[in-house]
Chains A and B, each alone.
Chain A
Amino acid sequence: MSAAVAPTPTYRRALLAPRRISAGLQHAYIWLWLVLFALPFVTTTLHSLRAPEGGLTLESYRYVFGSFKENLLLSVEVTVATIVLNLFIAIPAAYAIVRHPIPGKRFILSTLNLALYTPGAVMGISLAITYAFLFDIPRTFVGLLGAYVVGTYPLMLVPIIVALRDLPRVYEEAARTLGANRLTTFFRVELPLLGPGISAGILLTFVIVFNEFLVTLFIAGPNTTTAALRVYNLTRTGFLPSTAALAATMQFVSFIIVLVFFKTFGSRYLKGTYLI
């Protein structure tokens, strides 16, 4: 009955099997970069918390809401104004591009994106010249606004176009058969459904305008110094904890807003745009 039964061969994967080592190294590589991405922000924050006599303090943040308050307020104002204008420009334009036959669409699109491909310094010098010579708006809020709008509304266009293309036509058709005219259909059906795409556009505009300093450097004046430009100006004079505090605040606010967006809508609507 019990003939010699060969023992079942066993195999246990070694703890240091080449596959495991390779997988571990790959994850380590990703994490190395993740640390590098966050490192400048983290060290800036640490620097901002450093007290002159050693130890930690929030003292520097008094400047953020003290002498930098005006710059921050200006940044917020001009960012919000840019977002509002961008919405009025980008939503109709996206609608036209996706839903209407326009002769020379390709050419028009690349012209609209002109500012997107222009290096910041070139845009800065050209606007500085034009503002001084033609429009007579050097160093003004309007000047900043024009530069930001032209530079960012094409970025807002992208996610809205993507969302509009993804939106099935049946919703529009259903609304039409139910008696809604074009305008009603747009405001009651399409616009709400484009929400995530529009939010993505708002996010992109915010992140860029809020942190823009290069074009601003060319066209801003003493009364129109945005917070990001203030950071740049301050870095030229030294590395004070108060500068770090302002830079950290700017990044922190930007990051929170990105985070909220990711949590609400995911990153789908940002595919193919500036923010991944």
Chain B
Amino acid sequence: MARVRLVEVTKRYGQTVAVDRVSADIAEGEFVTLLGPSGCGKTTTLRMVAGLVEPTEGVILFDDQVVNAIPTHKRNVGLAFQSHALFPHLTVAKNIAFGLSVKRRPKAEIEQRVNELLAMIELEGYGDRMPAQLSGGQQQRVALARMLATDPRVLLFDEPLSALDRNLRDTLKYSILALQRRTKKTAIYVTHDQSEAFAISDRIFVMNKGRVEQAGTQLDIYLRPATEFVANFVGDNNALRGTVVEVHEDSNHRRATIRCGSLTVQAHAPGSIAPGDRVLAFVRPENIEVLQDGASADEPGLIEGAVEQVVFEGPAVRLLVDADGTPLKVTVSGVQRLTLLDAQRKRLRLRLREVSVVRDEAA
């Protein structure tokens, strides 16, 4: 139940920079996910919030309190680990009671709280079992109850579901979200799994090489990637290298026309893009429409290409299309996919939608 702020937080280990000037302002009750590949600094960032790692530079605040110098055990944060990290020598009830008992709360209060939490995770009557006697999902639920027992100011999750199998992951991620919504606590969740991040976050911070590449909602991240890394890391993408020919602005849109080899595409243009800029245009395979024969032939911006490969994946068909030398991945779902099974070597007309643009750093 606290606003969490990170100001230019940096962690260096000798010469290597694990976390590089990360800033964030997380509102009270907000559910934020740090998403990124392994080694991107997301776990280190989380551990700095927990106090397990001390920042080299920068400040971490809970509400208006600087917590840098406050040791972990006085921060009152709840942390869920990759492995459930239940104490193997203590029963389920004693595990849940641990935080309260080290704070020397009265026995009656502890017992009541433990029963309350056992009821909440639907494990009444399991209090006397040892953690090893529970299933993986039950263990993780006990870990959640243990972390909630002390009524922490912030909930921290360090890939809590990565050790579980897929079905369990799917149900548990919604339990975690429900728990957070019910307790209205600020939550920071670390994961490398984008479907997990998309399912439960209010806001996603995409991290790479110790830096935050982009912070935004699912829609921002997916449709308006701010950097090349975000465009490639989240979902599948076609990348087209090109030059901005012209920028067209109307009341609420800024559109750019981009020349990529022999192709011309229309894209959403962020304010920083101007004509003449070298850019990367991204279009998602599922945002490419395959036009049926009847569609109008003279619509501007349509692209024509020959199908080189057809892969039937069940719910979708993936096509590899050669558009005048530019390879394009196209994903078609719905009933239309069935009409494309024999599209090999045929020519198709494509409409590119939701094209996004970032400045080409390599140029």
- Judged by CB atoms under 8 Å, the answer to whether A and B touch is yes
- In chain A, positions 54-71 with a C-beta closer than 8 Å to chain B are none
Within 8 A of A (CB), among B63-118: 71-79, 81-83, 85, 87-89, 98-99, 102-103
Interface contact A171-B87, CB-CB below 8 Å: yes
Chain B residue at minimum C-beta to C-beta distance from A170: B85
Write the nearest CB–CB distance from B146 to chain A, whole angstroms. Answer: 7
- Asked if B81 contacts A170 (CB within 8 A), the reply is yes
- For B73, list chain A residues within 8 Å (CB): 175-181, 185
B102→A178 contact, CB < 8 A: yes
**Contacts of B17-52 to chain A: CB distance below 8 A:** 50-52
A180-B73, A181-B73 known; A193 and B88 CB under 8 Å?
yes
Instruction: Tell me if B83 and A170 are in contact (CB < 8 A).
Output: yes
**Is A174 touching B85 in the complex (CB atoms < 8 A)?**
yes
Instruction: Report the nearest A residue to B50, measured CB to CB.
Output: A177
Does B103 contact A176, Cβ atoms closer than 8 Å? no
Interface string of A137-178 (1 = CB under 8 A from B): 000000000000000000000000000000010110111111
Q: Does B150 contact A (CB under 8 A)?
A: yes
**Does B357 interact with chain A (Cβ within 8 Å)?**
no
Evaluate contact between A176 and B102: CB separation under 8 angstroms.
no
CB proximity of B227 to chain A, nearest CB, Å:
32
A178-B81 contact in complex given A171-B87, A189-B87, A193-B89, C-beta closer than 8 Å: no
CB of A184 within 8 Å of the partner chain = yes
A177 lies within 8 A of B98 (CB): no
Interface residues of A in 180-224 (CB under 8 A from B): 180-181, 184-185, 188-189, 192-193, 195
Q: How far is the CA of A195 from the CA of B77 in the complex (A)?
A: 29
Q: Is A173's CB under 8 angstroms from B146's CB?
A: no
Inter-chain CA distance A65–B149, complex, in Å, is 57
* Distance to closest chain A CB from B155 (angstroms): 11
Chain A residues with Cβ below 8 Å from B88 are 193
B9 within 8 Å of A by Cβ?
no
Contact A174 to B89, CB < 8 A, known contacts A179-B76, A184-B102: no
* Contact partners of A175 in chain B: CB under 8 A: 73, 87, 98, 102
State the Cβ distance, B215 to closest chain A Cβ, in Å. Answer: 25
Contact A188 B147 (CB under 8 A): no
Q: What's the dominant secondary structure at chain A's contact region?
A: helix
In angstroms, Cα B78 to Cα A74, docked, is 53
In the complex the two chains form, what is the Cα distance from A170 to B76 in whole Å?
17
Interchain nearest-CB distance for A152 vs B (Å): 27
Complex interface: chain A residues within 8 A of B74 (CB): 179
Decide: A173 and B81 in contact? CB cutoff 8 A.
Answer: yes
Residue of A nearest to B79 (CB): A177
Q: How far is the CB of B356 from chain A (nearest CB, A)?
A: 39
Contacting B at CB under 8 A, from A110-151, are: none
Task: Give bound CA distance, A46 to B83, whole Å.
Answer: 55
Interface string of B326-361 (1 = CB under 8 A from A): 000000000000000000000000000000000000
Contact A173 B79 (CB under 8 A): yes
- Measured CB to CB, the nearest residue on chain B to A177 is B79
A179 CB contacts on chain B under 8 angstroms: 73-74, 76, 99, 102-103, 150
Q: B85 is contacted by which of A173, A180, A188 (Cβ under 8 Å)? A: A173
Chain B residues near A192: list those with CB within 8 A. Answer: 89
Q: Which residue of chain A is the closest to B102 with respect to CB atoms? A: A180
- Within the complex, the shortest CB–CB distance from B100 to chain A, in Å, comes to 8
Residues of B contacting A180 with CB < 8 Å?
73, 98-99, 102
Task: Say whether, besides A192-B89, A193-B88, A174 and B102 are in contact (CB < 8 Å).
Answer: no
- For residue B94, which residue of chain A has the nearest CB? A188
Min C-beta distance of B150 to chain A, whole Å: 6
Q: Is the CB of A188 within 8 A of B102?
A: yes
Q: Which of B111-160 contact A (CB under 8 A)?
A: 146-147, 149-150, 156
Alpha-carbon separation in the docked complex, A129 to B82 (Å): 58
Nearest residue, chain A, Cβ from B96? A178
- CB pair A178–B150 under 8 Å, yes or no, is yes
Residues of A within 8 A of B150 (CB): 178-179
Q: Which residue of A lies closest to B149 (CB)?
A: A178
Query: What are 27 contact pairs spanning A and B, CB under 8 A?
Result: A173-B52, A173-B79, A173-B81, A174-B79, A174-B81, A174-B87, A174-B146, A175-B73, A175-B87, A176-B72, A177-B50, A177-B51, A177-B72, A177-B73, A177-B77, A177-B78, A178-B73, A178-B98, A178-B149, A179-B99, A179-B103, A179-B150, A184-B102, A188-B102, A189-B87, A192-B89, A193-B88
Interface residues of A (CB under 8 A from B): 168, 170-171, 173-181, 184-185, 188-189, 192-193, 195
Given known contacts A173-B81, A180-B99, A180-B102, what 5 new A-B pairs fall within 8 Å (CB)? A174-B81, A175-B87, A175-B102, A193-B88, A195-B89
**Closest 4 pairs between A and B when the two form their complex, measured CB to CB:** A178-B99, A170-B85, A176-B72, A177-B79
